[in-house]
Amino acid sequence: MTESHDAVQPFVPAAWEPSGGMPALRITDVKVILTAPDNIRLVVVKVLTSEPGLYGVGCASYTTRPAAVKSAIEEYLRPLLLGRDPNDIEDIWQVGHISGYWRTGPILMNALSGIDMALWDIKGKRAGMPVYQLLGGKVRRAAPVYSHASGRDPQEVEEQAIALMEQGYRYVRCQVDVPGNATYGVDEEEGPRQPYPPHLRARQGTWDTAAYARAVPRLFDHLRSRLGEEVGLLHDIHERLPPILAIGLAKELERFHLFFLEDPFAPEDNGYFPFLRQQTSTPIAMGELYVNQAEYVPLIKDRLIDFIRCHISAIGGITPARKLAAYCEFFGVRTAWHGPGDVSPVGHAANLALDLSCSNFGIQEWFRFGEAAREVFPGTPEVRDGMLWSNERPGLGVDIDEALAARYPLPEHPLNGAFPEVRQPDGTVIRW
């Protein structure tokens, strides 16, 4: 009689245990926690082990599709993982990646990341070392960060930038409103938000590309004249321009010496990067929307970008990110991992572990979390003197207080957290 398909047990390589003379360890459960302490939807994974009290946490935050990530983990990755040795991080990543046959995509990659970061956290706790030690140790004391300034006009942006500089920030991302438009990046409050997410209120509306392309050089002209040359200034186009206008803007901004200009094109327009490179020396950062190595490898190998800005959970976690960082080093591309409020403090700790251990680190984006998020996530790294510091605890150093997290369920939302559309004045929908 042939064995039924259901009876097939997952292959767990018994010959590999016990690893390194350590007692055998098994994954006993995988839990997904959805929480929104700052009213931003976060997905956090907890991997439990057979050693009492030993578990790891990972970030799987795909803020616009949290329920889909939860389902991918609970229904597909959890059964694959139960009984395996959590030491086998690389093997588990490869198994999880190919087990669906069709690969990558933000849902699977975020799901894999939640597991992957949790396994690095476990390994660090077991070794009694912060994860950056497992990645090769520190090459810098702390990670210089940038934070966000925005406003209704250049004057307001200047005021916010000065406030940040007074707190010790030496790099500031600056976005200005285009009056009457659904402008990206100007309604972003840091810390606790209103129960009804601001992007749903403020960003729904229309978008005039030409008005935006005129407003940005005016903003930086104003900022450089008021703030001087020393502060590092950054700007995020957020795929909001047709490619040729983005090239024009990058050229116009050259004289303001930006630290970087971000996401000039959509991933679908990767083919424009060679033209951009030939036209301007404005440093280019790209990549928070990438999920697949086929999207970013060509840009690095051809030296078409200066900073890689992937959202680490969207590319599958620390395991692929450390390979990507090492690959970038060979081509002089620096890291600038995505660090908005929809990366959980656990994800920020993973960013930091790489920032501290990669010599080709460029800069770290930092979101100023509110008090609720800091309470839900004890150990959230801290900024001092414009830099993000490790708390030096074993593993990722950040935990999740599940009881507190449950007090901040995902907010009610008519689109279940999806972004509302932005349109051109004639009604054409555009990228968000």
Footprint on this chain of Mg ion (rule: CB under 5 A): 236, 288
Question: Can residue 342 be called a binding residue for ligand CS2 (CB under 6 A)?
Answer: yes
Rule CB under 6 A: choose which of 85, 158, 239, 288 binds ligand CS2. Answer: 288
Rule CB under 6 A: choose which of 31, 126, 238, 334 binds ligand CS2. Answer: 238
Buried b (16+ CB within 10 A) or exposed e, 348-380: bbbbbbbbbbbebbbbbbbbbbbebbbbbbebb
Return the active site residues: 184, 238
Question: Can residue 38 be called a binding residue for ligand CS2 (CB under 6 A)?
Answer: no
Strands annotated E in 19-121: 27-35, 42-49, 55-59
Nearer to ligand CS2, 88 or 365 (CB): 365
Residue 120 CB neighbour total at 10 angstroms: 24
Rule CB under 6 A: choose which of 205, 267, 340, 420 binds ligand CS2. Answer: 340
| CA 189/CA 168 separation, integer angstroms | 19
CB of 236 to Mg ion, least distance (A): 4
CB of 271 to ligand CS2, least distance (A): 21
Amino acid identity at 297 = V
Nearer to Mg ion, 188 or 399 (CB): 188
Applying the rule CB under 6 A, the residues between 72 and 91 that interact with ligand CS2 are none
| CA 44/CA 53 separation, integer angstroms | 18
User: Which of Mg ion, ligand CS2, none lies near 38, with the C-beta cut-off 5 to 8 A by kind?
Assistant: none
Applying the rule CB under 6 A, the residues between 18 and 37 that interact with ligand CS2 are none
Rule CB under 6 A: choose which of 38, 177, 239, 365 binds ligand CS2. Answer: 365
| CA 212/CA 264 separation, integer angstroms | 13
Nearer to ligand CS2, 177 or 288 (CB): 288
CB of 394 to ligand CS2, least distance (A): 29
Omega of the bond leading into 18 within 30 degrees of 0 (cis): yes
Which residue from 49, 141, 129 is spatially nearest to 395, judged by alpha carbons?
129
CB of 64 to ligand CS2, least distance (A): 7
Residues β-bridged to residue 388: 143, 383
Q: What is the DSSP letter of 412?
A: P
Residue 306 CB neighbour total at 10 angstroms: 20
Q: How many residues bind ligand CS2 (CB under 6 A)?
A: 7
Which residue from 149, 154, 153 is spatially nearest to 170, judged by alpha carbons?
149
Nearer to ligand CS2, 119 or 174 (CB): 174
User: Which of Mg ion, ligand CS2, none lies near 88, with the C-beta cut-off 5 to 8 A by kind?
Assistant: none
Write the binding mask 185 to 224 for ligand CS2: x where contact by CB under 6 A, - elsewhere. ----------------------------------------
User: Which of ligand CS2, Mg ion, none lies near 364, with the C-beta cut-off 5 to 8 A by kind?
Assistant: none
User: Which of ligand CS2, Mg ion, none lies near 104, with the C-beta cut-off 5 to 8 A by kind?
Assistant: none
| CA 250/CA 265 separation, integer angstroms | 11
Question: Can residue 306 be called a binding residue for ligand CS2 (CB under 6 A)?
Answer: no
Residues β-bridged to residue 286: 308
User: Which of Mg ion, ligand CS2, none lies near 344, with the C-beta cut-off 5 to 8 A by kind?
Assistant: none
Between helix 345-357 and helix 318-329 the angle, nearest 10°, is 30
Q: What is the DSSP letter of 141?
A: S
Nearer to ligand CS2, 343 or 405 (CB): 343
- Residue 212 in contact with residue 240, Cβ under 8 Å? yes
Nearer to Mg ion, 85 or 262 (CB): 262
Rule CB under 6 A: choose which of 61, 63, 181, 357 binds ligand CS2. Answer: 63
Residue 1 CB neighbour total at 10 angstroms: 3
Q: Is residue 223 exposed (0-12), middle (13-18) or buried (19+ Cβ within 10 Å)?
A: buried
| CA 122/CA 230 separation, integer angstroms | 41
Nearer to Mg ion, 288 or 306 (CB): 288
User: Which of Mg ion, ligand CS2, none lies near 63, with the C-beta cut-off 5 to 8 A by kind?
Assistant: ligand CS2
Nearer to ligand CS2, 63 or 344 (CB): 63
Sheet holding 429-430, edge to edge: 205-206, 422-423, 429-430
- Which residues would be at the binding site for ligand CS2 (CB under 6 A)? 63, 236, 238, 288, 340, 342, 365
